[in-house]
């Protein structure tokens, strides 16, 4: 148990002090808006609100889950409450980090609890897919899922899919057999929405189709190009072999751009585009490609560990104003119209997508 808590603490430390980002981009440099010299709208009529799982949000940004239950729990609690205050202020959704520590050590629940400071926030709990595998001793089921959501009064549950991170980590849970079946069973009984989320290696169209097939409610693509979990594990590796493995797989995965296109093309599911989203123009591109939200984790960690709510809000407001400006410059009054503006896709992303989907159809139907 102690190990889980220490591990989560080390993750935050490395994320703050080292470069843990992918060495490759998330791909949005290959996606281009066509500037519109006659927008025929006023900038101040641009409406950034979106609907998701029956709720309305003021802005299309999602604070991706990071923490909870770290050693002492105080740091994690501070991070989550700081993020939650910002989310409450802006009316945007947020997730907490993996609640595995809480399932094992219920006394850590407070580090995930934010309802006292964020009564209205759309809050997403978080458990890991390997815990549901058929080969996992004491595998999770509906009881743990209910506990995760209800202890913190969350509105939905995210199940993180993280085979890359587990596979390059010495103590990793590399059991993944029977996860899809377990999630199908959970979906059938569970009264809350379930979001499947990757953690930096992206979701392919094949996986998205399976997730939609069992009734999963939304996908956070968690694509390549932002925080690299192999990168984080590289710094934690205890020996040469471990360091080599983590370094080798540092940039493994499906870029965020590509994952958004594959999932949008192959399913009807709402999409959260997370993974290396660092400015509002990039976020506007993801929204134009069919995502409902851009998700952000790492950039918010620094102000959050200091309890700096205004610092978190300042970063988010910068993204919001950049999205608004991009929408003005393509003449999109709202996110629905943004999905219909022309996009030009070039380079590596075009080459990839031409082999995987009907690019013309995707661009018409997104
Ligand atoms: C994460 N992420 C994460 N995801 C998850 O499902 N459960 C978790 O416990 C964590 N923990 C976590 C800790 C820290 C410090 C970071 C930075 C991230 C992954 C996160 O939700 C997101 O998918 C990725 O970080 C990609 O987004 P960014 O960081 O590139 O914006």
Q: What is the pLDDT of residues 188-216, one digit of tens each?
A: 999 999 999 999 999 999 999 999 999 99
pLDDT score at 102: 95
Write b or e for each residue in 329-362: b if 16 or more Cβ atoms lie within 10 A of its Cβ, otherwise e. bbbbbebebbbebebebeeebeebbeebbebeeb
Of all atoms in ligand 1, which is nearest to the CA of residue 278?
A: 31
What confidence score (pLDDT) does residue 73 get? 66
Q: Which two tokens stand for residue 24?
A: 């490759």
Ligand 1 in reach of 219 Cβ (< 6 A): no
3-class secondary structure per residue, 247-296: HHCCCCCCEHHHHHHHHHHHCCCCEEEECCCCCHHHHHHHHHCCCCEEEE
Find how far residue 60's CA is from the centre of its chain. Answer: 13
Asked if residue 273 lies in contact with residue 31, where contact means CB atoms within 8 angstroms, the answer is no
Over range 157-179, report the average pLDDT: 95
Residue 26 predicted with pLDDT over 90: yes
Q: Is the CB of 12 under 6 A from ligand 1?
A: yes
Q: What crossing angle do the helices spanning 229-236 and 2-17 adopt, rounded to 10°?
A: 110
Q: What is the pLDDT of residue 10?
A: 85
> pLDDT category, 170, cuts 50, 70, 90?
confident
Under the banding of pLDDT at 50, 70 and 90, the label for residue 3 is low
Task: Note the pLDDT tens digit of each residue in 202-256.
Answer: 999 999 999 999 999 999 999 999 999 999 999 999 999 999 999 999 999 999 9
Band of the pLDDT at 156, cuts 50, 70, 90? very high
pLDDT at 261 over 90: yes
Angstrom distance (rounded) from CA 286 to CA 290 = 7
200 Cα to the center of ligand 1, angstroms? 8
Mind listing the pLDDT tens digit for each residue in 269-323? 999 999 999 999 999 999 999 999 999 999 999 999 999 999 999 999 999 999 9
Is it the case that residue 174 has pLDDT exceeding 80?
yes
In angstroms, the CA 2 to CA 4 distance is 6
DSSP 162-195: -HHHHHTSTT-----TTHHHHHHHHHHH-SS-EE
Decide: 11 in ligand 1 pocket, CB within 6 A: yes
Residue 171 binned pLDDT confidence (cut-offs 50, 70, 90):
confident
Mutation pick for ligand 1 pocket among 18, 19, 25, 65 (CB with most ligand atoms within 8 Å): 65
What are the tens digits of pLDDT across the range 81-115?
Answer: 999 999 999 999 999 999 999 999 999 999 999 99
Report which DSSP code applies to 227: B
């Amino acid at each position: 148990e102690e190990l889980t808590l220490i591990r989560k603490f080390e993750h935050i430390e490395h994320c703050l002090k080292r470069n843990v980002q992918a060495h490759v981009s998330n791909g949005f440099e290959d996606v281009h808006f066509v500037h519109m010299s006659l927008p025929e709208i006023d900038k101040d009529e641009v409406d950034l609100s979106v609907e998701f799982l029956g709720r309305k949000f003021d802005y299309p940004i999602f604070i991706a889950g990071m923490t909870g239950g770290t050693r002492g729990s105080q740091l994690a609690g501070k991070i989550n409450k700081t993020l939650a205050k910002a989310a409450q202020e802006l009316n945007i959704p947020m997730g907490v980090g993996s609640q595995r520590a809480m399932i094992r050590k219920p006394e850590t629940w407070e580090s995930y609890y934010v309802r006292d400071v964020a009564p209205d926030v759309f809050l997403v709990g978080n458990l890991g897919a390997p815990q549901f595998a058929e080969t996992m001793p004491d595998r999770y089921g509906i009881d743990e899922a209910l506990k995760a959501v209800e202890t913190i009064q969350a509105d939905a549950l995210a199940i993180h899919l993280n085979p890359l991170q587990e596979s390059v980590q010495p103590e990793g849970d590399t059991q993944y057999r029977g996860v899809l079946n377990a999630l199908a069973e959970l979906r059938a009984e569970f009264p809350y929405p379930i979001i499947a989320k990757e953690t930096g290696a992206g979701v392919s169209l094949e996986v998205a189709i399976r997730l939609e097939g069992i009734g999963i409610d939304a996908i956070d693509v968690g694509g390549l190009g932002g925080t690299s979990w192999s990168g984080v594990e590289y710094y934690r590796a205890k020996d040469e072999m471990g360091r080599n493995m983590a370094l080798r797989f540092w940039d493994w995965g499906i870029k965020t751009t590509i994952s958004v296109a594959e999932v949008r093309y192959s399913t009807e599911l709402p999409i959260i585009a997370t993974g290396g989203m660092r400015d509002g123009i990039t976020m506007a591109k993801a929204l134009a490609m069919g995502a409902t939200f851009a998700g952000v984790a790492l950039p918010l960690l620094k102000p959050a560990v200091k309890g700096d709510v205004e610092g978190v809000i300042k970063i988010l407001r910068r993204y919001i104003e950049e999205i608004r400006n991009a929408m003005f410059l393509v003449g999109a009054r709202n996110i629905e119209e943004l999905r219909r503006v022309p996009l030009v896709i070039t380079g590596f992303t075009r080459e990839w997508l031409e082999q995987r989907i009907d690019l013309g159809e995707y661009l018409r139907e997104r």
